[in-house]
Chain A
Amino acid sequence: MLERLRERITPTDIVMWMIGGSLLVMIIWGSAATLLAGLYTPRHWLDFVIFGLAQGSVYALIAMGYTMVYGVLRMINFAHSEVFMSGPYTAYYVAAAFYRSGLLESHPVLCLLAIFMVSMFISSMIAFLLEKIAYRPLRNAPRLIPLITAIGASFFLQYVFRGLYGSGFQAYPVVKMLEGHWTFIGIRILRFQAVVIVAAALLLAALYSFIQMTRVGKAIRAVSEDKEAAYLMGIDVDKMISTTFIIGGMAAGAAGAFYGIMFKQVHFFMGFIPGIKAFTAAVLGGIGNIPGAMLGGIFLGLIESVGPSLFLDGLGIVAPYQLKDAIAFTMLVLVLIFRPTGILGERLAVKKA
């Protein structure tokens, strides 16, 4: 038993484990020191968690698109961050029109729903066209080629939107109904964050049950398991791949509308950072695995919000929030060292290896 273990462990593994181990020790030490210092009250921690959940649900929705596309096509759709950007950027013009006409004041719920729909529709259409024009002709090309195409498509979309809407940013109007905060059982929560968290949770649940329970969902899962077998079983593979892109685009468009509500600013480059983070989240959760992407997104949002204070404050690092991104990617490194398949990725890895 020991012999076999020794054979399997390479020096690289040992180095990786040492890196991972020392990172873990640092994290535990930092957290302990922060908690002992007692600078933050439980209310602060609760605030951090709520902020993290709101940001995390946006990541989770975007990560869905990455993971589903990976599931059916085995490619990373790097243009997904532009799919995310296109929806809310276009919906901004709808929002601004509502605001100018006073409709946003008088019928805020209807207007929000309309903004939401527009954002989802545009994003899903961009995703659909992207697949049809850029990826379908390369379906049977070597793996690297669609990947490069995706990067090219990403730049193309960015600059098309820059050309369409300008290089500056636009600011979403404020929805009065969503300003301020609510208090539930002593927990203070910002209104729009509450709305975003609840709506995102519902959407994620709906998406998950769609994939699990409907015929189309089943067909998509079949395509992602084995394209040829699915084809032989009478499933229209092309249609299922298109559907996957449309669903991923819808999730991204919804995430974009939430982003617009939470952060107000939209511009042509806004997709880049959330896109990279959501991709990280998808890998964290186990790429190709849908609940994994959701979990990864929420986890990443939480880590970004809680992590700098919890891990780094205790280590005496000044201005820890500058290292927010570093923490997010360190988490990715840690997960990849100890669980190369991602948090929920094991089953999938066994099947497809």
Chain B
Amino acid sequence: MKRTFILFTILALMIGIAATGAQAADAKDPIGVVTIKKGEPVHIAYWFVVAGENASLGTDTKRGVEIAIEDVGGKLLGHPIKLSGQDTGCNAEGGQAAATKLASDPTIIAAIGSNCSSEAKPGAPILWKAGITTVSPSNTAPYLTDPARGPEYEGYLRTAHNDKIQGAVAAQFAIKKLGVKKAATIHDGSVYAEQLQAVFAETFKKMGGTITSQEAVSTGSTDMRPVLTKIATGKPEFIYYPIFIAEGGHITRQAKEVAGLEKVSLMGADGIFSPDFYKAAGETAIGMYHSSPDFSAFAAGYKDFLAKHQKKYGEKPLAPFHAHAYDAAMMVLKAIEKVAVKGKDGSLTIGRKALRDALYATKGLKGLTGNITCNKLGDCADPRIAVYQTTADNVKKLEMPDKPFWKPY
């Protein structure tokens, strides 16, 4: 009897302590807190497309994050950093599934991702509902940081450029450098491609050019010759197709086969700026253009980063967003450092709202891609977009060109 009584007392005491502890912590942050006990890791998650046709995009950004963690010594405030992740598949369903999985893990402090804008559109609100702030290294669709995006995107930021800039640069390039007057665009119905080609078309028209047609293909389709024949009826001199690797490869291969398009200039965007795209398009990619971040304008630390990348993975980067991912990870780590409250027992307490606010308050952070300063809507990039041209050597060695062909500035 006595023993049971003691047991109950201890149990009650324990519950009481836990309850007061939780209450005290909750009171500090309107959304909730994460408490990391002594020796437990600081858990950060990525949601990238690390499998499938577009795996190069996700692998590239994942490596950026890994190098960033290594650069801080794998530790934050005396706690080891744990990185886990989910594959997103570069589509809305995959983004939703990955975000739901991450949201169910209460130990996750912040997320880095997603890669494709279509993933972020359903995914970011799911994460924010669970109090997880996410920083994307490669979402570029304007909608995600548009004033009309709604409060469910409040926990969303990005270090990638906004496509309002990329689309405009591509249009300037076509008109100023190539001197073309008639252009056509192709998108695949994804948020990224649709908005990017729309910005391109708008700027192109404003600068005095004519858009002969704005076509679309469905993801997974392989026979692009009919749609290209339709485009050929408008006799464009230039085709801009900011889509993804599989469909982009088919268009590049098939464009020159269609009567009337033999001399047309082809241009893609950062989504297909990858050695995997060269694999998909083969020699037909020679001479085509890509709009993508200007590596030559990156900060001095970028060279170091490339050396580390080469050493760690034995190859050059696979896509354009490794540096943005590195910066995103640094941003997250710095913000955690700022808001984490150290307990006497060696624990860390991190308020979710406080972390989100700290991330939005990032100002003048010296990143690889430039100075990172976030605006009210979560656009943090310091975007410099350049145009690259693919040479025969690039295709042969499966390497992206590293020197810009043209810059708008």
Interface residues in B246-298 by Cβ distance below 8 A to A read 246, 249-250, 253, 257-259, 276, 279-280, 282-283
Question: Which residue from chain A places its CB closest to the CB of B189 in the assembled complex?
Answer: A322
Pick from B53, B214, B221, B257: contact of A273, CB under 8 Å: B221
Measured CA separation A55–B227 after assembly (Å): 14
B222 at the interface (CB under 8 A from A): yes
Contact with B along A307-350 (1 / 0, CB 8 A): 01100010000111111110000000000000000000000000
Q: Given the known A-B contacts A171-B282, A309-B226, A318-B214, are A264 and B253 also in contact in the complex, defined by CB atoms under 8 Å?
A: yes
A156 at the interface (CB under 8 A from B): no
A52 touching B52, Cβ below 8 Å: no
Q: Given the known A-B contacts A168-B52, A321-B216, A321-B230, are A305 and B223 also in contact in the complex, defined by CB atoms under 8 Å?
A: yes
Contact with A along B211-229 (1 / 0, CB 8 A): 0001111101111011101
B283 touching A174, Cβ below 8 Å: yes
A265 touching B214, Cβ below 8 Å: no
Number of interface residues of B (CB under 8 A): 36
B246 touching A47, Cβ below 8 Å: no
B51 at the interface (CB under 8 A from A): yes
B55 touching A51, Cβ below 8 Å: no
B233 at the interface (CB under 8 A from A): yes
Measured CA separation A174–B254 after assembly (Å): 13
A82 at the interface (CB under 8 A from B): no
Question: Which residue from chain B places its CB closest to the CB of A268 in the assembled complex?
Answer: B52
B53 touching A169, Cβ below 8 Å: yes
B250 touching A325, Cβ below 8 Å: no
A39 at the interface (CB under 8 A from B): yes
A188 at the interface (CB under 8 A from B): yes
B223 touching A168, Cβ below 8 Å: no
Measured CA separation A43–B56 after assembly (Å): 40
A48 at the interface (CB under 8 A from B): yes
Q: Which residues of A sit under 8 angstroms from B215, Cβ to Cβ? A: 319, 321-322
Question: Which residue from chain B places its CB closest to the CB of A48 in the assembled complex?
Answer: B226
B282 touching A308, Cβ below 8 Å: no
B229 touching A322, Cβ below 8 Å: no
The A interface, classified by DSSP as helix, strand, loop or mixed, is helix
A47 touching B229, Cβ below 8 Å: yes
Pick from B217, B246, B249, B279: contact of A322, CB under 8 Å: B217
Measured CA separation A322–B55 after assembly (Å): 24
A263 at the interface (CB under 8 A from B): yes
Pick from B56, B229, B245: contact of A44, CB under 8 Å: B229
A190 at the interface (CB under 8 A from B): yes
Measured CA separation A292–B55 after assembly (Å): 40
Q: Given the known A-B contacts A318-B214, A321-B217, are A168 and B55 also in contact in the complex, defined by CB atoms under 8 Å?
A: yes
Question: Which residue from chain B places its CB closest to the CB of A188 in the assembled complex?
Answer: B259
A265 touching B280, Cβ below 8 Å: yes
Q: Which residues of B sit under 8 angstroms from A51, Cβ to Cβ? A: 223, 225-226, 229
Measured CA separation A33–B392 after assembly (Å): 45
Contact with B along A251-292 (1 / 0, CB 8 A): 000000001001111010100110000000000000000000
Q: Which residues of B sit under 8 angstroms from A305, Cβ to Cβ? A: 223, 225-226
Q: Which residues of B sit under 8 angstroms from A170, Cβ to Cβ? A: 279
B249 touching A55, Cβ below 8 Å: no
A319 touching B53, Cβ below 8 Å: no
A131 at the interface (CB under 8 A from B): no
A231 at the interface (CB under 8 A from B): no
B217 touching A308, Cβ below 8 Å: no
A181 touching B222, Cβ below 8 Å: no
Q: Given the known A-B contacts A319-B216, A322-B217, are A43 and B259 also in contact in the complex, defined by CB atoms under 8 Å?
A: yes
A167 at the interface (CB under 8 A from B): yes
Contact with B along A20-64 (1 / 0, CB 8 A): 000000000000000000011001100110011001000000000
Question: Which residue from chain B places its CB closest to the CB of A323 in the assembled complex?
Answer: B218
Q: Which residues of B sit under 8 angstroms from A322, Cβ to Cβ? A: 189, 215-218
A190 touching B257, Cβ below 8 Å: yes
* 4 A-B pairs with least C-beta separation: A319-B216, A322-B216, A321-B227, A167-B51
The contact sample of 7 A-B pairs, CB cut-off 8 A, is A169-B280, A170-B279, A262-B222, A264-B280, A304-B223, A319-B214, A322-B218
Can you add 17 more A-B contacts, CB < 8 Å, to A169-B279, A308-B227, A324-B217? A39-B233, A167-B51, A167-B52, A168-B55, A169-B245, A169-B280, A264-B253, A265-B246, A265-B249, A267-B52, A304-B226, A305-B223, A318-B214, A320-B230, A322-B216, A323-B218, A324-B226
